[in-house]
């Protein structure tokens, strides 16, 4: 039987990931510490979404849940919290863990100070939004996702048609193009 995590489970898991990050940091494993800190952040992002009624399973899809997270934070007027999330993604995850480019002293600061602050702010926010239910909004959001997929599929179809047109025109007009090229070189 699969246990579906609730908000409290996710918050607890995020704290465990963060504590693990601090232990890794203390042992000198800076880049793995950065990834564990990022995992704590992502787990809290999911906890926030679950707190407002997003099914836990849907929080696992970045393409579904991240745009929704962005919209929710913007609707709450929390653009700075969103910018900090994006900053931590860049510093810890992308340029830290994956690329090993973030300077070690920046990683240490981001893990100990920036991540700790973000976690604290998210815990306060999660407690404030508990009980809010955006299920009616999610119905529209699901329609948006469905429509977006249809548009992407139509764009692919459109591109193929344009490629067919271009190919047909090239074949049809090839003799004339060659003739024009010869005329240009003979001048």
Average pLDDT over residues 127-139: 92
CB-based contacts of 178-187 (< 8 A; 24+ apart in sequence)? none
Q: Is the pLDDT of residue 101 over 60?
A: yes
Over pLDDT 70: what percentage of the chain? 97
* Separation CA 35–CA 93 (nearest Å): 6
Condensed to tens digits (0 to 9), the pLDDT of residues 134-144 reads 988 999 999 99
Average pLDDT over residues 163-176: 93
pLDDT of residue 1: 42
Structure tokens at 8: 């409290």
* Separation CA 164–CA 56 (nearest Å): 43
Q: Is the pLDDT of residue 187 over 80?
A: no
Condensed to tens digits (0 to 9), the pLDDT of residues 38-69 reads 999 999 999 999 999 999 999 999 989 999 99
C-alpha distances out from residue 108 to 35, 92, 95, 98, Å:
12, 10, 13, 16
Architecture (CATH level 2) of domain 1-133: Up-down Bundle (1.20)
Neighbours of 142 (CB within 10 A): 12
* Continuous segment of H or E residues that includes residue 178: helix 135-185
pLDDT of residue 67: 95
Neighbours of 186 (CB within 10 A): 6
- HEC sequence for 29-96: CHHHHHHHHHHHHHHHHHHHHHHCCCCHHHHCCHHHHHHHHHHHHHHCCCHHHHHHHHHHHHHHHHHH
Cα angle for residues 34, 40, 45 (degrees, 5° grid): 125
CA 184 from centre of chain: 53
Q: Please classify residue 72 by burial: count the beta carbons closer than 10 Å to its beta carbon, then call 0-12 exposed, 13-18 middle and 19+ buried.
A: buried
Is residue 33 within 8 A of residue 107, CB to CB? The reply is yes
């Amino acid at each position: 039987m699969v246990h579906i995590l609730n908000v409290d489970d996710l918050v607890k898991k995020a704290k465990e990931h963060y504590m693990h990050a601090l232990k890794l940091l203390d042992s000198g494993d800076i880049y793995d510490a950065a990834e564990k800190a990022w995992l704590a952040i992502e787990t809290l992002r999911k906890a926030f979404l679950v707190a407002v009624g997003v099914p836990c399973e849907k929080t696992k899809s970045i393409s579904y849940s991240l745009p929704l997270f962005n919209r929710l934070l913007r609707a709450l007027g929390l653009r700075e919290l969103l910018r900090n999330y994006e900053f931590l993604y860049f510093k810890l995850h992308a340029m830290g863990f994956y690329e090993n480019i973030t300077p070690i002293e920046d990683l240490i600061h981001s893990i100990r100070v920036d991540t700790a602050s973000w976690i604290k702010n998210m815990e306060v926010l999660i407690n404030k939004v508990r009980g809010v239910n955006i299920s009616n909004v999610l119905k529209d959001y699901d329609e948006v996702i469905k429509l977006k997929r249809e548009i992407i599929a139509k764009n692919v179809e459109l591109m193929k048609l344009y490629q067919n047109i271009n190919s047909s025109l090239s074949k049809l007009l090839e003799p004339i193009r060659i003739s024009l090229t010869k005329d240009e070189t003979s001048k």
